[in-house]
Structure 1
Amino acid sequence: MTVSVVQFGGSNCDRDAVRALRHLGIDAERVWHEDGLPAEPDGIVLPGGFSYGDYLRAGAMAARAPVMAEVREAAEAGVPVLGVCNGAQIGSESGLTPGAFTTNASARFQCEPVHLRVERADTPWTAAYDEGDTIEVPIAHGEGRFEIEVDAHDELVAEDRVLFRYCDEAGNVTEEANPNGSTDNVAGVLGERETVAVLMPHPERATLPDVATSTDGAGVLRAFA
């Protein structure tokens, strides 16, 4: 399997994603968005950064790049697609997943470790964990607050499509543990297919033992193995 890490102007976590995947023994290559995807992509990562300088809204312009039509087509065919941070914003803006990401409740950029509770362990992205596990990964965003209309949120919960929620170290989902004001402490969600997921925290920054204080994020990336 070769994972295509889509690079837009302003992406800054594409190299991190490639390095983390290769560390796990997963072949990965950066793909410039204008060049399009390989004919038969094995996996796709929409990485973090500030695509198009976050003009208009974070992820809004990249979501309308021609390559995203290819990403959506691949997702519909069952190709694993993961959006991280800005990639999550692109994923939601392009309709891969429900909801939207907007300005943090603090109205400032936040870069810090957070704890996440694994809400499901029966998906490709969480198979390395047990349901209820607490993992530590970093966030780095100014527009990471997950927002969703009430009816859509109820549907999301009813369909069991919440992957991770922000929690404290003991696994308690509390308002104090919510770093950005996300609705229902949601940190990551599934698309209509379980092979599509977006999350605001950075698993690739919690994978390499020589540069990270936690390697808890490796389990997410192992979905591509």
Structure 2
Amino acid sequence: MATTVDARAETALARTRRARRIVRALGELHPDARIALHFSSPLELLVATVLSAQCTDKKVNEVTPGVFARYPTAAAYAAADRDELEAILRPTGFFRAKANSLMGIGAALVERFDGEVPGRLEALVTLPGVGRKTANVVLGHCFGIPGITVDTHVGRLSRRFGLTTETDPVRAESDLAALIERRDWTIASDRMIFHGRRVCHARRPACGACAIARMCPSFGTGPTEPAEAARLVRGDAEAAR
């Protein structure tokens, strides 16, 4: 299954068309693509996304029920006992920095946004510990505002797909935004994350079992023999680890 894509010789129009075909193909391959974090409000998703830094979504989902029950409002985070909050967050790693962020977010929301999570990018990124990635997650999944989330999976896949050469997330986001239709920004990110977890792994991508191999200039980075590649494909349980 040799690829014929040469991203270096591709015109801007051809790259745009290929990017959109990839997004559609990923939708067919991963029709269940969705955000893996559990939440029921913008505040809960904001907190869960902050906790997901350097931590698996599976572990975050194990910890957040207790967090959400103990701290149901922004005011509760602002008034949290630091030692207690750190103890609850410890399983997610970097718990001191995360406690700082959550307490700071709570205080900022109370002081500047009446305790509510704002639905604007420029406001969200002013909150402690909140960058464009976290803001786009919240906007896309809670407010219906399209956003591209360049996490490690989206960054890796977008470079392998030849859609960007940037390692800086903000620059990669800009490149992807120019190629993908705005209405698809959020779901394209979810689909790429699913594909990165299930098929296009960092160390050994399952190239020979990849449904979009013909559109990928990096075909051959991993095993190309179908049976060997198929053994690398992960199911939901494995991908969530």
TM-score range, shorter chain: under 0.3
Which is richer in strand? 1
Which TM-score applies when normalising by structure 1?
Answer: 0.27
Greater RCO, 1 or 2 (C-alpha within 8 Å, sep 6+): 2
Which TM-score applies when normalising by structure 2?
Answer: 0.26
Which is richer in helix? 2
Between Structure 1 and Structure 2, whose CA radius of gyration is higher?
Answer: 2
